[in-house]
Amino acid sequence: MSDWTHVAGIIRLDHLPLLQLGGPLSESTVEMLVRSGSPRGSEGGLDIKVVKTQVMTPTGGPLVWGWISFTGDLRDFGPEDSNIIFAWLSKFSKELVARKAIIRQGIVAVEIESEDHERVYSWHDDHWEEKAKP
């Protein structure tokens, strides 16, 4: 019997152009960073979407850059592989922050069928944390 891991996540990005170094943050750059090293099961990887909305403040300054979402069902990806998801999240998040993106919020749920609980990772200040479930 195959081990399946189900993943769903969303991350909100903000971006203040006055803080940018090296130009604006593009959708293609964000997508490249997120796709690099993304987890894969034996039948494929995650469905990753990057959406740039660029919401402006009432005074005309940018606030919300957009979001990253990802979902997927990873076959033959079990508890021994779960650290790959955390490492991937940490890696691309550090690269985004280094490019002056602001990760405002993030939540990722990981359900490994062979375990009796769901792992939930959330973004706090400058890193991902696993939330303990009662």
Residue range 95-134, pLDDT digits in tens: 999 888 889 999 999 999 998 889 999 999 899 999 866 5
Residue in the structure block whose two tokens are 């189900």: 6
How many separate domains does the chain show?
1
Tokens of 21: 């170094």
pTM of the model: 0.88
Rounded to the nearest 10 degrees, the angle between the axes of helix 27-35 and helix 82-98 is: 150
Please give the structure tokens belonging to residue 15.
Answer: 């971006």
**φ, ψ at 132 (rounded to 5°):** -75, 135
**How many Cβ atoms are within 10 Å of 109's Cβ, its own excluded?**
16
Q: 10 Å Cβ neighbour count for 50?
A: 22
Domain containing 82 — which CATH number?
Answer: 3.30.70
**Tens digits of residue pLDDT in 9-68:** 999 998 765 555 556 678 999 999 999 999 999 999 999 999 998 777 677 666 788 999
Nearest to 19 by CA among 76, 61, 82: 61
In which domain, by residue range, is 80 found?
4-131
Query: In this structure, are residues 99 and 11 in contact, taking their beta carbons and an 8 Å threshold?
Result: no
**Residues near 90 by beta carbon (within 8 Å), at least 6 away in sequence:** 127, 128
